[in-house]
Amino acid sequence: MSVELDFTAAALRGLAVGSFVGGVVYVMERAPPFIGGIVLVLPIVVGPSFFFLSLQQDAAFMQAACITALGMIGAALCFLTAYIRLIGHVSAPLASLGGMVAWSIAALIILALPVTLPWMLGFTLVAALLAWAANRRIVQLGSAGASQPSPAYDIALRGLFAGLLVAAVTLLASQLGPLGSSLLANLPVALSVVCLFLLRRFDRPGARAAMASSQIGLSSLVAFFLTLLLLQDMAVAPRFILACLATAAWAVLLGRLRRLL
């Protein structure tokens, strides 16, 4: 890939992430915690990352990257579990830092595991069970929404901050192989930014409920990466369209199930 295309991909991914963070803040300040939490984990960030990687890497690279990404969902669950437990007692920056520590430990474990589907899905399953055990009552407990929505410039600055960070990461990802690329592509930058500012608009029970809902919604990313793996012989564009549709369908199903339960 040329230097110009590298920078273009990084800029587009940064724009996608920046728009995503701004949109998530907008939605989360106006929606119930459960809906905002589901929106937060849709593949609007990781999707562009893997799309651009697919344009520049071969099938074997992408297969390893997608399998690793299935394990990184478990790392994201660890981030959220730590954040949810901490945000009830400490400030948002400290809770976010604790989440990043938990994510880093999980990422190191993933890097030490064999890059196979059973191992990666197994790790995420264990993380999901731990998250459920720790936070199974929190989704029902939190109901407080945002007070007054943030001004437009505030939302734009948060999106810009996240977009710049992710654009810089993109320039390094393709040089680190499938494991390193997948790890950086799944770095919870947007998630961290949202978590940092969450207490400005939610009370602590509401913030915990939104992030607990995000843990439920993370299962939609399993549908995304499994679809990419199952359709790896298909052309890039239709494969990603179908993966996004599978993810959206799973998120809608979660929303309907939530209303029934």
Q: For residue 6, what pLDDT is reported? A: 64
256 located within any domain: no
- Quick check: helix, strand or coil at residue 203? coil
Q: Is residue 248 part of a domain?
A: no
* Chain centroid to CA 69: 11
Amino acid occupying residue 69:
A
Would you tell me the crossing angle of helices 189-197 and 92-112 to the nearest 10 degrees?
160
Distance separating alpha carbons of residues 205 and 144, to the nearest angstrom: 7
d(CA 101, CA 106): 9
Looking at residue 24, its amino acid is V
Which residues of the chain register pLDDT less than 70? 1-6, 8-10, 12-13, 17, 21, 24-25, 27-42, 44-45, 136-155, 157-158, 162, 165-166, 168-170, 173-174, 190, 201, 255, 258-261
Per the structure, the count of domains in the chain is: 1
pLDDT for the residue numbered 144? 46
User: Does residue 251 belong to any structural domain of this protein?
Assistant: no
Q: Which domain holds residue 211?
A: 3-220
Closest CA to 102 of 203, 191, 204: 191
The pTM assigned to this predicted structure is: 0.78
* CA neighbor of 223 nearest in space, from 254, 207, 247: 247
73 within some domain: yes
The pLDDT, as a whole number, for residue 99 is 92
In a domain, 184, yes or no: yes
Q: At what angle do helices 92-112 and 117-135 cross, to 10 degrees?
A: 150
- What is the distance in angstroms between the CA of the first residue and the CA of the last residue of the chain? 49
Sequential DSSP letters for 7-24: HHHHHHHHHHHHHHHHHH
Using alpha carbons, select from 238, 221, 188, 241 the residue that is nearest to residue 82: 188
In this structure, is the dihedral angle defined by the CA atoms of residues 214, 219, 221 and 224, taken in order, positive or negative? Answer: negative
Q: Is residue 235 part of a domain?
A: no
CA 148/CA 151 separation, integer angstroms: 9
Grouping H, G, I as helix, E, B as strand and the rest as coil, residue 145 is coil
Q: Tokens 């209303």 identify what position?
A: 259
Please name the residues in contact with 251: beta carbons below 8 A apart, sequence gap of 6 or more.
Answer: 38, 42, 217, 220
3-state secondary structure of 103: helix
pLDDT at residue 79 in the model: 93
